[in-house]
Each structure stands twice: as structure tokens, then as C-alpha cells.
């Protein structure tokens, strides 16, 4: 049973550029959440996707956007990158019919903005 | 605003000793509390959870205690092993919210 997978593992971008991160949820899961984890901090909720729509959003600017595909996989897009966007981006999947706290995390994508 | 925080950023224990990691929360509406373990280069891994209507729950070598009166959560690890070295996060979730709110983490180091 495949767990949550994310790609790429590492990414280096320049300020002002755009980036797309990808996530495949755990088999059977239909909901994907994205979190940003700065170095030495706990993950911060960005948004959650279900049925290809953004269902809930955290305190992140519109530069952060996402998408969910019919196969439940998801993308996180960040435009006009800032140095402060450097972080580990985590994807978590869950089952909409289950408790919202049962989220399974992927290994993350380490984004470095220079 | 509402937040979940930890008392200590680092904790060092001798192998074989018991570890206690503490967490304070401020959202009285929280329904569930979860402890995650995060090893270097990996995503958070679920350890144990507890509902707000419970005050204690035990797993394999781990126990979570919840004190709603003082809004305090703790994770106890029995007979700590080198493989327990990691950052531990508490997180909370309220039924109406879909996201997890994490604290800043405690780095546990197990000394030989």
C-alpha cells in the first residue's frame, strides 16, 4: 500500500520565479492538505483540497495556489517566490469520510529560494 | 490567536530512561490532540492521539495525558531508545476545522 508521495525531493529557485510541487495521496484517500514547515518550526496549514476544490485555507497569500486532479493527486503552486518561502512543503492525505485529524504526511519537498 | 505551543525546545535523556514532552494549547474548542514524531528528512509520523473527552491514552511504550483544566498535553515515552531521537510535535484539531494546528516542536536526543 503506497503512502503519500511527493516530488521533487529538493528544489532550488530564484526570487521572483514560480514553482510547482506535486503530491500523490495515500491509496484510498480523497483529501489533500498542504503545509509549510520553516526550519525549526512546526508545519503551518496552507490549504486543503477535496473534490478538486479548495475547501479550507490558512493564512497564506494568494501567491500560493493549488489544484486537485480527478485521481486525487494535487499540486501546490507558488508565484513570485520570496526568500521567506524557503521551507519544507508537506503534503498530507486523509479520507473525507474519516476524522479530519487523521492525516498522513509525505516526506516533503525542500524548497530553497536564493 | 489560538495556538499550540511547547514548553521546552530541547530534551536530552539517557537511553533506557523515561521521557516526558510537554505541550500547552489555548483553543478550548479542540476535539483531538495528536503527537507526531519527525525524523530528519522525513515528514511527521503519527504516534498517538487522544480525544478531548479522555484524560489518558496508552500505546506501545507511549502514553498521552490530557489536562483540560490547564490546557496541557504531555507525551511520555517509556524506556527511551536511540531510535526515539527526533523532533516531537503536538497538534490539535477541532471538529469544525479541517487543518491541524502544530506547535513548534521539541528536539529529543537520546544519550548512550
Name the residue facing A90 among B43, B91, B103 (closest C-beta).
Answer: B43
Query: Residue B6's pLDDT is what?
Result: 46
pLDDT bin (cut points 50, 70, 90) of residue B3 is low
Which of these, B68, B64, B69, B67, lies nearest to B34 by C-alpha position? B64
Quick one: pLDDT at residue B2? 42
In the DSSP assignment, the letter for residue B7 is: S
Taking the CA atoms of chain B, what radius of gyration do you get in angstroms? 13
Band of residue B4 on the pLDDT scale cut at 50, 70, 90: low
Cα separation, A35 vs A59, whole angstroms: 11
**pLDDT tens, residue by residue, A4-58:** 999 999 999 999 999 999 999 999 999 999 999 998 889 999 999 999 999 999 9
Residue B95 has pLDDT above 90, yes or no: no
User: b/e per residue, A73-84, with b = 16+ CB within 10 A?
Assistant: bbbbebeebeee
B12 vs B85, B86, B106, CA distance in Å? 9, 11, 10
| Nearest-neighbour CA in chain A from B98: distance (Å) | 6
**Is A45 in contact with B101 (Cβ distance < 8 A)?**
yes
**Cα dist from A1 to A5, A28, A29, B47, whole Å:** 12, 10, 12, 19
Average pLDDT of every residue of chain B? 89
B1 at interface of A, judged by CB pairs closer than 8 A: no
- Radius of gyration from C-alpha coordinates of chain A: 13
Contact between B106 and B87 under an 8 Å Cβ cutoff? The reply is yes
Of B43, B89, B105, which is closest to A106 when you measure between CB atoms? Answer: B43
Q: Looking at residue B84, what DSSP letter applies?
A: G
* Cα first-last separation, chain B: 41
pLDDT in tens, A76-108: 999 999 999 999 999 999 988 877 678 899 999
Amino acid at each position: 500500500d503506497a503512502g503519500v508521495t511527493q516530488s521533487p525531493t529538493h528544489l532550488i529557485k530564484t526570487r521572483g520565479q514560480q514553482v510547482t510541487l506535486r503530491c500523490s495521496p495515500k491509496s484510498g484517500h480523497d483529501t489533500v492538505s498542504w503545509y509549510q514547515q520553516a526550519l525549526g518550526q512546526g508545519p503551518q496549514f496552507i490549504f486543503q483540497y477535496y473534490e478538486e476544490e479548495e475547501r479550507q485555507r490558512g493564512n497564506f497569500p494568494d501567491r500560493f495556489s493549488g489544484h486537485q486532479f480527478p485521481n486525487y493527486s494535487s499540486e501546490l503552486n507558488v508565484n513570485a517566490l520570496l526568500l521567506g518561502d524557503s521551507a519544507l512543503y508537506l503534503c498530507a492525505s486523509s479520507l473525507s469520510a474519516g476524522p479530519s485529524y487523521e492525516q498522513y504526511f509525505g516526506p516533503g519537498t525542500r524548497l530553497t529560494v536564493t | 490567536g489560538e495556538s499550540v505551543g511547547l514548553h521546552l525546545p530541547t530534551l536530552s535523556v539517557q537511553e533506557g530512561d523515561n521521557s516526558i514532552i510537554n505541550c500547552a494549547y489555548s483553543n478550548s474548542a479542540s476535539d483531538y490532540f495528536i503527537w507526531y514524531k519527525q525524523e530528519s528528512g522525513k515528514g511527521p509520523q503519527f504516534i498517538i492521539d487522544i480525544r478531548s473527552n479522555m484524560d489518558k491514552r496508552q500505546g506501545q511504550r507511549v502514553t498521552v495525558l490530557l489536562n483540560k483544566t490547564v490546557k496541557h498535553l504531555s507525551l511520555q515515552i517509556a524506556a527511551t531508545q536511540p531510535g526515539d531521537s527526533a523532533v516531537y510535535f503536538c497538534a490539535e484539531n477541532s471538529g469544525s476545522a479541517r487543518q491541524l494546528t502544530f506547535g513548534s516542536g521539541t528536539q529529543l536526543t537520546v544519550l548512550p
